[in-house]
């Protein structure tokens, strides 16, 4: 980023960001002293054969693929799903399944590949897949709701699946990493799931790293790599430093401020790829103040998208008006919504609030918000800080609360008003996943508590519609409803940034779905 860009930042943000950097210095130094905490291997450690060290931004304490919200087993190449996303054509393609049919949308037959074995050498047949799917349904209420499976029958390498109702997009939901196929006769799902992928899990240190080895009998051709270390560090600065020092080979989402220095280094390649993700302001509709649409409109008006894209993401993002990238066929065209402090005040006046003695209040009670954020996505706490600062200007106090695992916290606690949250909105190349998960009353990611009969009816109709043009119309209707009623507010579509040692790493692909990372094609030069 050029120097002129930095000169254009406002002074208040400069002071804030400098303060954040100063606060981070001690943790960075500590990370350097300890070898970037527990996420890197010693540079003195010698490995035989071809090895890659991948550093990810989310940590996990469980590798159970049926409930793990970080999807590490699939991303690390341990597990696979029956189908996968063709990211170029936004269609579903075979993976562990060879083909499928279900003309009525309710009764499906899936033909499995016959050349697949689990890492323990057992054959992956229909009985094994049935057992894995049934465990996923048992362990995850969200998966049970979304798949709508009533009964599964296994016959050789054929699965016969009956749903509780017609669901034409059933197969696309099998892309979900939480429906990964594992051998459920193996017991320790948390620490050592046994999958079908190109890499076998050899060791797992919760919250720290996985050690992986090539699976020689992998059905799609054994990897040329001998081993992979898949480690975690939620500190973006530490991730960048680990790549600069040569401790790791690939870094997922390095610290944005470090990109210029990374790009200047010989042999380091930085990729910035538009993905199906949105950063949003999730609103807890169960909180009294946010039940008024004008308060929600005021929150939306206070979000300074231009400043956030320019100063926090340094241009590696696109301001969002809705959940879907404008380039997707089911994304509505929105009228530009007015924003700014004056607009927010006008909305709050409509809600009965007045600015008195420097406080925005109603019936003598000040308007305050508890705003959740989490550090695994380094830009979200900074977005929260900007919102807090702008809200303060119109007399609203915002308490920022740091949490660790947002999905767990928001699902279990209702003591918050707002949350900066990041969500994949079209990882199947279709709108159905996000709309069902986020706005249907049974949705796993419905943290706002949305329960709107009209919106639910649109989503239910979408679930039973086959024709893609008709589906696009229904998806637009649902997104328009969300926009009109301000059920959540959308901030930006971030690019996924990956930096890696180009002199060593071969065949790395930064995917739009963010699902497929450690593959059998990954190699070293």
Q: What is the pLDDT of residues 416-444, one digit of tens each?
A: 999 999 998 987 778 998 999 999 998 88
Q: Is the pLDDT of residue 3 over 70?
A: no
CB 437 within 8 A of CB 425: no
| Cα→Cα distances 185→70, 77, 132, 281, Å | 23, 20, 9, 42
Residue 34's pLDDT band (boundaries 50, 70, 90)? very low
Residue 70 maps to a domain: no
Do 219 and 135 fall into the same domain? no
pLDDT in tens, 302-316: 999 999 999 999 999
Specify the pLDDT at position 40: 40
Residues 147 and 159: their CA atoms lie apart, in Å, by 15
CA-only gyration radius of the chain, Å: 24
Domain boundary among 179, 214, 231: 179
Residue 111's pLDDT band (boundaries 50, 70, 90)? very high
pLDDT in tens, 363-373: 999 999 999 99
Domain boundary among 117, 144, 179: 179
Indicate the angle between helix axes 379-392 and 293-302, nearest 10 degrees. 110
Do 396 and 374 fall into the same domain? yes
Residue 69 maps to a domain: no
Residues 495 and 273: their CA atoms lie apart, in Å, by 5
Residues 184 and 167: their CA atoms lie apart, in Å, by 27
Do 204 and 224 fall into the same domain? yes
Do 30 and 88 fall into the same domain? no
Residue 31 maps to a domain: yes
Residue 263 maps to a domain: yes
Domain boundary among 149, 179, 209: 179
Long-range contacts of 6-14 (CB under 8 A, 24+ apart): 8/310, 9/310, 9/311, 10/307, 12/389, 13/307, 13/311, 13/386
**Mean pLDDT (whole number) for 271-284:** 93
Do 357 and 298 fall into the same domain? yes
Specify the pLDDT at position 47: 60
Do 388 and 429 fall into the same domain? yes
Residue 65 maps to a domain: no
Q: Is the pLDDT of residue 24 over 60?
A: no
pLDDT in tens, 68-85: 888 999 999 999 999 998
438 vs 40 pLDDT, higher one: 438
Specify the pLDDT at position 88: 80
Residue 164 maps to a domain: yes
Residues 476 and 233: their CA atoms lie apart, in Å, by 38
Do 375 and 480 fall into the same domain? yes
Instruction: Provide CB contacts within 8 A for 461, sequence distance 6+.
Output: 474
Task: Please state, rounded to an integer, the average pLDDT across all residues of the chain.
Answer: 89
Question: How many domains does one find in the chain?
Answer: 3
Give the residue numbers spanning the domain of 288. Answer: 277-495
Do 373 and 457 fall into the same domain? yes
Do 106 and 205 fall into the same domain? no
DSSP 117: B
Do 389 and 304 fall into the same domain? yes
Residue 6's pLDDT band (boundaries 50, 70, 90)? very low
97 vs 2 pLDDT, higher one: 97
Residue 26 maps to a domain: yes
Looking at residue 485, which CATH number applies to its domain?
3.10.105.10
Looking at residue 111, which CATH number applies to its domain?
3.40.190.10
Do 40 and 104 fall into the same domain? no
Residue 368 maps to a domain: yes
pLDDT in tens, 392-415: 999 999 999 999 889 889 999 999
DSSP track, 343-372: HHHHHHHHTT-EEETTEEEETTEEPEEEEE
Do 475 and 511 fall into the same domain? no
pLDDT in tens, 333-376: 998 889 999 999 999 999 999 999 999 999 999 999 999 999 88
């Amino acid at each position: 980023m050029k120097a002129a860009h930095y000169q254009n930042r406002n002074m208040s943000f400069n002071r804030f960001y400098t303060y954040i950097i100063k606060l981070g210095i001690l943790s960075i130094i500590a990370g350097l002293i300890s070898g970037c905490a527990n996420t890197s291997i010693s540079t003195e450690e010698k490995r035989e054969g071809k090895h890659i060290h991948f550093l990810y931004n989310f940590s996990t304490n469980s590798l159970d693929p049926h409930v793990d919200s970080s999807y590490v087993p699939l991303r690390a190449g341990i597990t696979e799903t029956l189908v996968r996303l063709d990211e170029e054509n936004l269609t579903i393609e075979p993976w562990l399944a060879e083909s499928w049919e279900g003309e009525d949308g309710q009764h499906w037959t899936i033909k499995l590949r016959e050349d697949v074995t689990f890492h323990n050498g057992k054959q992956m047949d229909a009985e094994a897949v049935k057992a894995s799917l049934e465990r996923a349904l048992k362990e995850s209420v969200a998966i049970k709701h979304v798949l709508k499976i009533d009964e599964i029958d296994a016959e050789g390498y054929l699965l016969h699946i009956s749903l509780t109702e017609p669901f034409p997009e059933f197969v696309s939901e099998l892309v979900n990493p939480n429906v990964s196929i594992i051998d459920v006769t193996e017991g320790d799902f948390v620490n050592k799931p046994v999958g079908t992928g190109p890499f076998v899990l050899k060791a797992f240190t919760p919250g720290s790293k996985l050690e992986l080895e090539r699976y020689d009998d992998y059905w799609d051709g054994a990897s040329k790599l001998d081993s992979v270390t898949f480690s975690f560090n939620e500190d973006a600065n530490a991730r960048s430093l680990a790549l600069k020092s040569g401790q790791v080979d690939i870094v997922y989402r390095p610290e944005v401020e470090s990109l210029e220095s990374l790009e200047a280094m010989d042999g380091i390649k930085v990729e910035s790829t538009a993905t199906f993700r949105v950063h949003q302001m999730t609103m807890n509709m169960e909180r009294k103040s946010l039940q008024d649409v004008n308060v929600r409109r005021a929150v939306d008006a206070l979000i300074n998208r231009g400043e956030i894209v320019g100063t926090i993401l340094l241009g590696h993002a696109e301001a969002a008006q809705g959940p879907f990238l404008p380039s997707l066929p089911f994304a509505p065209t929105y009228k530009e919504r007015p924003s700014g402090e004056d607009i927010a005040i006008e909305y709050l006046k409509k809600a009965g609030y007045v600015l008195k003695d420097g406080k925005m209040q109603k019936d003598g009670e000040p308007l305050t918000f508890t705003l959740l954020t989490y550090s695994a996505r380094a830009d979200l706490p900074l977005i929260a800080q900007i919102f807090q600062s702008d809200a303060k200007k119109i007399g609203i106090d915002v308490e920022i609360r740091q949490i660790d695992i947002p999905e767990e916290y928001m699902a279990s606690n209702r003591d918050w008003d707002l949350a900066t949250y990041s969500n994949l909105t079209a990882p199947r190349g279709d709108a159905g996943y996000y709309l069902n998960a986020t706005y249907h009353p049974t949705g796993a990611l419905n943290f706002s508590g949305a329960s709107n009969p009209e919106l639910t009816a649109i989503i239910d109709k979408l679930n039973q519609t086959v024709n893609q043009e008709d589906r696009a119309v229904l998806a637009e209707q649902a997104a328009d409803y969300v926009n009109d009623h301000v059920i959540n507010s959308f901030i930006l579509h971030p690019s996924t940034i990956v930096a890696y040692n180009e002199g060593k790493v071969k065949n790395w692909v930064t995917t739009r779905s963010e699902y497929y990372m450690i593959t059998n094609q990954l190699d070293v030069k």
